[in-house]
Amino acid sequence: MTKVTLTVNGKTVSKSVEGRTLLSSLLREDLNLTGTHIGCDTSQCGACVVHVNGEAVKSCTMFAAEADGAEVKTIEGMANADGSLSVIQAAFQEHHGLQCGFCTPGMVMSAAALLKDNPKPSEVEIRAYLEGNLCRCTGYHNIVKAIMAASGQDVPAVAAE
Amino acid sequence: MYDFEIQKPGSIADAVSAMSGDDAQALGGGQTLIPTLKQRLASPSTLVSLAGLSEMVGICKDDAGRLCIGGATTHAAVAADGSYAGLSGLASHIGDPAVRNRGTIGGSLANNDPSACYPAAALGSGATIVTNAREIAADDYFLGMFETALNEGEIITEVKFPIPEKSNYQKFVQPASRFALVGVFVAKYADGVRVAVTGASESGVHRWTAAEEALNANFSADAIAGLDAPSGDGMINDLHGSGDYRAHLVKVMTGRAVAAAS
Ligand SMILES: Cc1cc2nc3c(=O)[nH]c(=O)nc-3n(C[C@H](O)[C@H](O)[C@H](O)COP(=O)(O)OP(=O)(O)OC[C@H]3O[C@@H](n4cnc5c(N)ncnc54)[C@H](O)[C@@H]3O)c2cc1C
Ligand code: FES
Ligand code: FES
């Protein structure tokens, strides 16, 4: 076991972990932050995306020991300080960007990472960025719409193809 | 996963000595190795983490004008660099953003997946793979599917790419894995054109010399249109495509890469 100390959603936490402990297990099982979902555990689906030092990573494909000293942000850290929904979260609600909601934490974390680098992405850029985030329900159109809206752009009906 | 210990050396020298331990294995970005460990297809007792080695992260140019990329540099950093357009374009289409934020060039070249993208860039550029022990020319490095010239415990510390006049990578995406069903990297240097093919052959990444000769005479998509596709014998034959289909794609993707080269 090794001791790791990291900042999660602004709070410093220290835990003992095995070499094989995944960051997703540390978050979900040791810190009870179960908003980070495990859809596949094979690095394909993106439900487990969190930010490590500001960058989107699949928490099921990173060891907890590698996050020692890092700043981690999960979906639980996305709401505003007063508990109200952040702009991206509110846009997902407003534009019906979720149905079952299983993929949503990863979608929101990926969307936040995209908007940090590219504040006004085109529809094509949004779809390309979400390559590694799979949704079984929505068909993606409303997710794309929500991200367009969250970036302050008009949302024409994104045509179904 | 079987349990193992993770070591975080502070220098390349420390990493090399950690790698000499019994059943020690390098950990790059983990984007291939972690899924492999989860399937219990590997059982190292120690993983030697390279991601935090500042000596192995970063991109610069050497006196010969080559682009030198540290072995633990992420795909995202190479994608953002832009000083070698064909290479940055290739890196920007590996996997997805989260994979690119962790996966490294050294890990990709060490793994040498027959459908991976970077091997095509390294072979297509005549790059030099630098390890803790020696320098290996790309032409001598790739030995077949998942096989390389690396010795046990050897670490890729840097990769040096001569920058071509024109280059492009075209990837025909395998729709489930998003790896290359066939990918072709074309690079035009003052002393000749190199064409490297990934995804297609049962012996891994390789050069298509007939296309190189045609392009040396006339660097245009027409020169490729006039060629026969390579033989489908020895090409990967699986549920995603037959050997002949892949051979046909090699020709199509080469023509597209030449047309798009800049
Ligand atoms: C969803 C998904 C999609 C992907 N799509 C693509 C794609 O389209 N194209 C593509 O090319 N790849 C793709 N990949 C693979 C990705 O590029 C990996 O990052 C890469 O193959 C391995 O790099 P890594 O740094 O993650 O290495 P790791 O997974 O850490 O290691 C891989 C192997 O290399 C060894 N190793 C690592 N670093 C070094 C080093 N510096 N020196 C010596 N040995 C080392 C390890 O011991 C291990 O055997 C994808 C991966 C995923 C999960
Ligand atoms: S649970 Fe991590 S990518 Fe699916
Ligand atoms: S809303 Fe159900 S998986 Fe996306």
Which residue stretches of chain A have pLDDT < 50?
Answer: none
Contact A57 B98 (CB under 8 A): yes
- pLDDT at position A159 is 55
Question: Chain B: nearest CA to A44, how far in angstroms?
Answer: 8
pLDDT band of B47, cuts 50, 70, 90: very high
Find, among B83, B94, B109, the residue nearest to B163 by Cα: B83
Asked whether residue B148 carries a pLDDT value surpassing 70, the answer given is yes
- Domain layout of chain B by residue ranges: 1-49, 166-260
For an interface test with B, the pick among A4, A21, A57 (most B C-beta atoms closer than 10 Å) comes out as A57
Give this prediction's pTM: 0.96
Q: Which residues of A touch B8 (CB under 8 A)?
A: 65
B65-91 average pLDDT score: 98
Of the ligands numbered here, which is closest to the C-alpha atom of A101?
A: 3
Of the ligands numbered here, which is closest to the C-alpha atom of A104?
A: 3
Tens digit of each residue's pLDDT (9 = 90 or more) over B161-189: 999 999 999 999 998 888 999 999 999 99
Of the ligands numbered here, which is closest to the C-alpha atom of A98?
A: 3
Cβ–ligand 3 distance for A135 under 6 Å, the answer yes
Report the C-alpha gap between B121 and B180 in whole angstroms.
13
- pLDDT at position B176 is 85
Q: Is A38:A29 a contact under the CB 8 Å cutoff?
A: no
Tens digit of each residue's pLDDT (9 = 90 or more) over A19-48: 999 999 999 999 999 999 999 999 999 999
The minimal CB distance from A56 to the residues B1, B4, B101 is found for: B101
Report the C-alpha gap between B187 and B164 in whole angstroms.
6
Q: Is the ipTM of this complex over 0.90?
A: yes
Among chain A residues, the shortest Cα distance to B50 is held by A66
Of the ligands numbered here, which is closest to the C-alpha atom of A42?
A: 2
Tens digit of each residue's pLDDT (9 = 90 or more) over B188-237: 999 999 999 999 999 999 999 999 999 999 999 999 999 999 999 999 99
Cβ–ligand 3 distance for A138 under 6 Å, the answer yes
Q: Which CATH architecture has domain B166-260?
A: 2-Layer Sandwich (3.30)
Contact A131 B1 (CB under 8 A): no
| Centroid of chain to Cα B38 | 23
Average pLDDT, chain B: 97
Cβ–ligand 2 distance for A79 under 6 Å, the answer no
- pLDDT at position B175 is 85
Contact A19 B4 (CB under 8 A): yes
The minimal CB distance from A19 to the residues B6, B76, B97 is found for: B6
Window 117-146 of B: residues touching A by CB (8 A cutoff) are none
Q: Which residues of B touch A56 (CB under 8 A)?
A: 97-98, 101
Asked whether residue B9 carries a pLDDT value surpassing 60, the answer given is yes
| Centroid of chain to Cα B249 | 19
**Candidate of A38, A40, A48, A136 to mutate for ligand 3, largest count of ligand atoms within 8 Å of Cβ:** A136
Find, among A46, A18, A23, A20, the residue nearest to A33 by Cα: A23
Q: Is A49:A57 a contact under the CB 8 Å cutoff?
A: yes
Question: Chain A: nearest CA to B212, how far in angstroms?
Answer: 32
Contact A132 B5 (CB under 8 A): no
Spell out the alpha helix ranges (H) of B26-150.
33-38, 75-81, 85-91, 97-102, 105-111, 118-124, 138-141
Give the angle subtended at the CA of A120 by the CAs of A109 and A10, to the nearest 5°.
Answer: 35
Among chain B residues, the shortest Cα distance to A128 is held by B96
CATH topology of domain B1-49: 3.30.43
Asked whether residue B258 carries a pLDDT value surpassing 80, the answer given is yes
Report the C-alpha gap between A122 and A138 in whole angstroms.
19
The answer, for B2 touching chain A at a CB cutoff of 8 Å, is yes
Report the C-alpha gap between B241 and B115 in whole angstroms.
13
The minimal CB distance from A66 to the residues B1, B49, B101 is found for: B49
| Domains observed in chain A | 2-77 (3.10.20.30), 87-150 (1.10.150.120)
Q: Is B227:B159 a contact under the CB 8 Å cutoff?
A: no
Q: Which residues of B touch A41 (CB under 8 A)?
A: 38
Window 13-72 of A: residues touching B by CB (8 A cutoff) are 18-20, 22, 41-43, 46, 49, 55-58, 61-63, 65-66
Contact A18 B102 (CB under 8 A): no
